[in-house]
Each structure stands twice: as structure tokens, then as C-alpha cells.
Amino acid sequence: MVIGAFPNTRLRRLRQSAWMRDLCSENDLTPSDLILPIFVREPETSPHIPSMPGVLRLTLDELIDVVHQAADAGIPALALFPTTPVELRCPDGSEALNPDNLICRAIQTIKSLNLNIGVITDVALDPYTDHGHDGVIINGRVDNEATIEILQQQAYIQAKAGADALAPSDMMDGRILALRHYLDDRDYADCLLISYAVKYASSFYGPFRQAVGVQQLSGLKDKKTYQMNPANSDEAMREIAQDIQEGADMIIIKPGMPYLDVMQRAAAQFNIPLLAYQVSGEYAMIKAAAQNGWLEEERTVLESLIAFKRAGAHGILSYFALEVAQNLSA
């Protein structure tokens, strides 16, 4: 005779009251889990991002107040993205190498505040190229080696401006090793490399592209020759293994919620800090539903974020980070 666990075991017994649920909670979410992405702009650029209601592009002046709020709420780090004025964009993204560009001035502005908050900057050319791709196009393809040469210089000027961590999101092969050596040779051995090792060619980046002013990709119609196929997760493990070997300090998996299986596999397989990126399209979906009264925003956001912790993420980049951290620390 098979003897069932019931009635000796009643799993509902542990759910009766808040104290039991809190005590037995397997994961928790704290402000120190959250990284806030911020779009910075020149004063002439509009602050509004229609597909990301509630997120504004910030001038360097406006940035100061938000950075103080983030530090006060216990957020450990910010991820900065520039909206480069259209007239400064060109095929090889040379504005990325201008030591006085918007992103370098943003880094300097934040570091001059002397707060206990990390500054992470993106290493990739898409906010600077007129075609919107992450690298330079040669003979009809995004050229791996030519792009890496530019990324090395981009990384160097960001490190020089004071960035604590650089996050290459370009998906060129071998860029982690190339950047690591380039930085080490120039006295930036302590600058972290947070690799977007696993970055899918995703439709969920749409609102981000609007935010940084990439209207439409040209040259190549999509990023599928360098970003990953959403059908794959073995390949994601290879990307992570390779970037760890090349010297990555942390790994980002993005987008977030559609790829929780990839996060879970990565957490089981690797002993390295893993970050999930709840990307712009995920933000837009929750926000739009909430604005229509179809979802209750605060609870939905918390549920979406704890899911990343459950899957094994050590931290989460989210456009909701500031309000969530403020609520959690209130």
C-alpha cells in the first residue's frame, strides 16, 4: 500500500501567517541586489522616452540628485548609457573615443560626489554609430577585430574618467581578454569587467533603442550575426565559460524574465557573480499593463525581481531599481 505524505505533511501549515512565510522564505530582495540603469543626455535632447513612461533621460545636473537618491536608498551601482546627439554619430562611432564625451563627463560628475556607489559604463559603439550597430561595418559585416581595437580605446577613456566597472555589451569574440590586457597595460588592473556574456538578439530592447536614439538599424537589419539566437542555451554556457577564462569579473544575462532558465543553468554551473538585466521591453510591458489598470505595479515588479534571485542571480539591473529600493528601505 502506498502511504501518501498527507495528512502528516500539510504544506499549507507553513503559509498560515506572515512570520512563518518570512522565516521560511528561500530568497529575498534587498536594495543591495539592484543596479539602476540611467540614460544621460545633453540639455538640448528631450528627456522623454515615450516607450518607457516614468524613465527620463537626465542632464548631468539632473543626474546629481538621482545619484544621491540611489545612494541613500542603498543601491550599490549605476549603469550609464548616453543619448549621443545625432550630429556626433558616424560610421565608426568616433565620439566614443572623445575623452570629453557625454559619458565621460557623467562618470566624472558622479565620482566627484564621493558617494559609496559604483559607476558601470557600457562598452559598445551603438550609441555613437549612425547605423546603430555595436561595432564598425566592413564589407557588409560587423568586423570583430576592427571593433575590438576601438572598444579598447573606448574602455580606456571610460576607465580614465573614473568608471569603476566596464560592461562590454558588444558581443565581439575575444573582447574580454583584449580589454583586460589593454587596461592592465595602462594601470587599470583594478577596473572591473562585467561581461554581457549572454546577450540575445532580442526584440525586448526596442524601448532602449528609442532611449539612446537609435531610430532604425541600417547596414544590417538586425544584430543576429553577433547577438545570440533566443533558441539556444548550451551556447550561453560556452559564452560564459569563455568570458570567465578571458578574465570577466561578473557575468550579465540579458534579457531577464524570458531567459530565467539560462540564469538557472549558469548559477548551477559557474561560481561567478551573475547579474540579470530586466531590459527596457520588460519594463515597458509591466508599466503599460499597470497604466491600463491590468496589473498592480508594485507587486508585479517585486514578483518579477524575486524571480531573478530564485533563478540564481546575485544582482539585477532594472529600471524599477530606484523606486523598489526606496520602498524596501523605507
Binding positions for Mg(2+) are 239
| Distance from C-alpha of 36 to C-alpha of 54, rounded to nearest angstrom | 13
Nearest to 52 by CA among 324, 320, 323: 320
Rg of the chain, C-alpha, whole Å = 21
- Give yes or no for a contact between 77 and 117, defined as CB atoms under 8 angstroms apart: yes
Nearest distance in Å: CB 15, ligand PBG: 35
- Smallest gap from residue 316 Cβ to ligand PBG (A): 12
Binding site, annotated residues: 239
The rounded distance, in Å, linking the Cα atoms of 65 and 78 is 13
Which of 26, 172 has the CB closer to ligand PBG? 172
Residue nearer to ligand PBG on the CB measure, 45 or 280: 280
**DSSP string spanning 276-315?**
EEE-HHHHHHHHHHHHTTSS-HHHHHHHHHHHHHHHT-SE
Which one-letter amino acid corresponds to residue 54? G
Does the annotation count 224 as an active-site position? no
Neighbours of 23 (CB within 10 A): 9
Q: Which residue sits closest to ligand PBG, CB atoms considered?
A: 208
Amino acid present at 29: L
**Closer by beta carbon to ligand PBG, 59 or else 227:** 227
Min dist CB 38 to ligand PBG, Å, is 11
Q: Which residues bind ligand PBG (CB under 6 A)?
A: 122, 124, 126, 134, 169, 205, 208-209, 223, 279-280
Within 8 A by CB and 6+ apart from 191, the residues are 159, 163, 164, 165, 166, 183
Question: At closest approach, how far in Å is the CB of 143 from ligand PBG?
Answer: 16
Q: In angstroms, what is the minimal distance from the CB of 146 to ligand PBG? A: 17
User: Considering 223, 254, 287, 309, which one is annotated as catalytic?
Assistant: 254
Contacts of 20 (CB under 8 A, 6+ apart): 14
Name the residue nearer to ligand PBG (CB basis): 27 or 313.
313
With respect to ligand PBG, which residue has the nearer C-beta, 98 or 186?
98
In the complex, what is the shortest distance from the CB of residue 215 to ligand PBG, in angstroms, rounded to a whole number?
12
On whether the CB atoms of residues 226 and 142 are closer than 8 A, the answer is: yes
- The number of helix segments (H) and strand segments (E) in the chain equals 11, 10
Choose, from 199, 223, 287, 309, the residue flagged as catalytic: 199
Closest CB to ligand PBG among 86 and 268?
A: 86
254: annotated active-site residue: yes
Q: Rounding to the nearest 10 degrees, give the CA dihedral for residues 274, 280, 286, 291.
A: 150
Catalytic positions: 199, 254
